[in-house]
Amino acid sequence: MIAVQPHRLLYVFAFIKFLVLGLLIIPPWSGPDEIGHYSYISDLGKGTFPGFKTSKMDPEARSSAWKNEQDPLNWILAHPPLYHAALAPLSFVLDQANSSVLVKLKWYRSVSALLAVIALMFIFGATRAITGSYSAGVFAISVPTFTPMLATTAGLANHDIAIFSLGAAGTYFFVRALNTTQEKFQLLTLLMFALTSLTKATGVPILVGFTLLFLVVNAFRKSLNFRYAGMVALIWLPVVGWHAYMAIFHDLVLVIYRDQNMISAEKVSFLSFLHNVPVTETVISTFSGFIWVVRDSSVSAVTSFPNGNLLILFMLAIIALLGAAAWSVVASKRWWVSDNAVVSGSLFAGAALCSVAIGIYTATQMPYTAIIIGLVVFLGLVSFASSYRLLIERNASLEFSVVAFAATTCTLILLMHTFYTIYLDRGRAGALHGRYIYMIAPLFLAALINEIEKFPFRKIVYFCVLAGFVLFDSIYWVRFALPIYRSIDNF
* pLDDT reported for residue 1: 47
- Over residues 368-411, the pLDDT tens digits come to 888 999 999 999 999 998 888 777 878 899 999 999 999 999 99
pTM over 0.95: no
Q: How far apart are CA 32 and CA 303, in angstroms?
A: 11
User: Residue 460 contacts by C-beta under 8 Å, 6 or more apart in sequence?
Assistant: none
Name the stretches of the chain with pLDDT < 70: 1-4, 67-71, 253-266, 293-308, 364-365, 488-491
pLDDT in the model for residue 462? 93
d(CA 204, CA 243): 10
First to last CA, the chain: 41
DSSP-assigned beta bridge partners for residue 56: 73
What is the C-alpha to C-alpha distance for residues 359 and 32, in angstroms, rounded to an integer? 29
**How far is it between the farthest Cα atoms of the chain?**
72
Distances (CA, A) of 304 to 24, 182, 282, 412: 20, 46, 11, 23
Q: Distance between CA atoms of 207 and 198, rounded to whole angstroms?
A: 11
DSSP string, 90-126: HHHHHHHTT--HHHHHHHHHHHHHHHHHHHHHHHHHH
Distance (Å, whole) CA 151 – CA 38: 19
